[in-house]
Amino acid sequence: MGAYKFSSLLLLSFFAFAVLAPSIRAHIGEFDEVWQKRAEEAQKAALEAYQPNPEEVTNQFNKNVRKSMQGTNTTRRNLRSNNGPCMATNPIDRCWRCKQDWAKNRKKLADCVLGFGRRTTGGKDGEFYVVTDASDNDMIDPKPGTLRHAVIQKEPLWIIFARDMIIRLKQELIMAGNKTIDGRGANVHIAYGCGITIQFVKNIIIHNLHIHDIVPAQGGMIRDSVDHYGLRTASDGDGVSIFGSSNVWVDHLSMSNCKDGLVDVIMASTAITISNCHFTNHNEVMLFGGSNNFQGDKIMQVTVAFNHYGRGLVQRMPRCRYGFVHVVNNDYTHWLMYAIGGSQNPTIISQGNRFIAPPNMACKEVTKRDYASPDEWKSWTWISQGDLLQNGAFFVQSGDPKKKHPFTRYDMIKAKPGTFVNRLTRFSGSLGCKVNQPC
Ligand SMILES: *[C@@H]1O[C@H](CO)[C@@H](O)[C@H](O)[C@H]1NC(C)=O
Ligand SMILES: *[C@@H]1O[C@H](CO)[C@@H](O)[C@H](O)[C@H]1NC(C)=O
């Protein structure tokens, strides 16, 4: 009953968005028929991807983590290197990693995602597309063999790379749906140019890349699909921008130093999993929900799992508005201001993370609430369960006490969380996979 009421409310706010969208612009210079149709379809898909009972998804996730940890030894040491025998230390990795013939079974990866993005298949049903050319010179007629040419195709594609390369994108890379970008087997950097834009599409996997030093661009004519191009306004310099899209899985990225966010999830995006990434040297790391006025983000459901928030990070890991965010088994080893923040009553379920506070006495609090008095935010559901808080870190919880334990009857991680996290996130970031060797 409650859930039903909630979803009809969402539906209402969704139609409001459909009317609103053209004025939002979304970096689209001309919100023409093609973009309008794409936005409408993406909104429909997002609504279908939305889970009325998100606790069930977090429950399924926890079950998987527990299963994968059974029989493992949690006293192992803290080593982040990929040297030595291959080890898969969390349930997502365990699904595909450490098999010698991984390169012959690349699409196995598409069976491995957990959490809200778990229905993402990317380009699983398509052919392989091998990127052979690191250049990015023609925004309207991208050259065959380039990444830009690959991502605008209509059909599902599993995109891989012929060799190591640094791709400096002249403008944001606007992706069409049903694509996997799979950087395994090569050392691929998207850097010193623009980032990846996932806008009004569904079903995208971004895997095993280095994305760093992304800068804004002025915009201009950019092709966004084989039969359409149009004017884009300036881009902000996000690493990965997920805009009005659903079923997106971002996994094993090494990301640092972008002009805007590293990963942003905005404008009613949902069914997203961000896992196994290694983030460093960046100010505003992740923004989930970009505007106080945009209630369409109530539909947003994001799983953030097994990531390592490393050195030189300042804030927003993530910063949330409206949606439901499951932050599970991440390792926060550094932050300069705070780790998890938000406004506009987002639901944040933090479980089994390790939070190591910085030396600065003023920045020991994990959480930060904006634009609200305690009277207001005391009803927001922000829950910490099984988190390991170190060096004076503290998590200020809030919310209805009845809602405080929605997971007690589900399978929860009962072991020492800090030790688990260290191990679970040990191989975060881009992996150096070699063909014919366990990866
Ligand atoms: C876990 O590690 C300890 C210390 O190295 C070892 O004695 C023990 O046998 C290990 N247990 C398992 C289940 O591997
Ligand atoms: C993606 O694939 C699904 C299933 O094959 C198909 O129904 C859908 O139209 C595709 N979407 C795009 C944008 O190509």
Give the position, in ligand 1's atom list, of the atom nearest the Cα of 71: 13
Dist CA 242 CA 178 (whole Å) = 14
Q: What are the C-alpha distances in Å from 144 to residues 24, 133, 297?
A: 33, 8, 37
* Phi then psi dihedrals of residue 172, to 5 deg: -55, 145
Residues 6+ apart with CB under 8 A from 389: 355, 357, 366, 395
| CA-based max dimension of the chain | 59
Dist CA 93 CA 96 (whole Å) = 6
The CATH-assigned architecture of domain 2-424 is 3 Solenoid (2.160)
Query: From ligand 1's centre to the CA of 414, what distance in Å?
Result: 19
Task: Determine if ligand 1 sits within 6 Å of the CB of residue 73.
Answer: yes
Task: Determine if ligand 1 sits within 6 Å of the CB of residue 70.
Answer: no
Handedness of CA 279, 163, 117, 328 (dihedral sign): negative
Q: Are strands 228-232 and 220-225 parallel, antiparallel or unpaired?
A: antiparallel
pLDDT in tens, the chain (439 residues): 333 334 444 444 444 444 444 445 578 888 888 989 999 999 999 998 887 777 777 777 777 777 766 555 444 444 444 567 899 999 899 999 999 999 999 999 999 999 899 899 999 999 999 999 999 999 999 999 999 999 999 999 999 999 999 999 999 999 999 999 999 999 999 999 999 999 999 999 999 999 999 999 999 999 999 999 999 999 999 999 999 999 999 999 999 999 999 999 999 999 999 999 999 999 999 999 999 999 999 999 999 999 999 999 999 999 999 999 999 999 999 899 999 999 999 999 999 999 999 999 999 999 999 999 999 999 999 999 889 999 999 999 999 755 644 433 332 323 335 568 998 999 999 999 999 999 9
* Phi then psi dihedrals of residue 171, to 5 deg: -135, 170
- Annotation says 316 is catalytic: yes
Two tokens, residue 74: 């949690």
Report which protein residue has its CA nearest ligand 1's atom 14: 73
**What's the pTM value of the predicted model, to 2 decimals?**
0.87
For residue 408, give the 3-state DSSP assignment. coil
Q: What angle do CA 25, 247, 225 make, to 5 degrees?
A: 50
Q: How far is CA 369 from the centre of its chain?
A: 22
8 Å CB contact between 278 and 90: no
The residue with tokens 């706010």 is 13
Q: Are strands 220-225 and 324-328 parallel, antiparallel or unpaired?
A: unpaired
Task: Determine if ligand 1 sits within 6 Å of the CB of residue 408.
Answer: no
Query: From ligand 2's centre to the CA of 203, what distance in Å?
Result: 8
On the 0-12 / 13-18 / 19+ scale of CB atoms within 10 A, 230 is: middle
Question: Which ligand is closest to the CA of 157, given by its number?
Answer: 2
Domain positions in the chain are 2-424
Two tokens, residue 212: 């760093």
Q: Which helix (H) or strand (E) holds 69?
A: helix 54-69
On the 0-12 / 13-18 / 19+ scale of CB atoms within 10 A, 180 is: buried
Question: Which ligand is closest to the CA of 70, given by its number?
Answer: 1
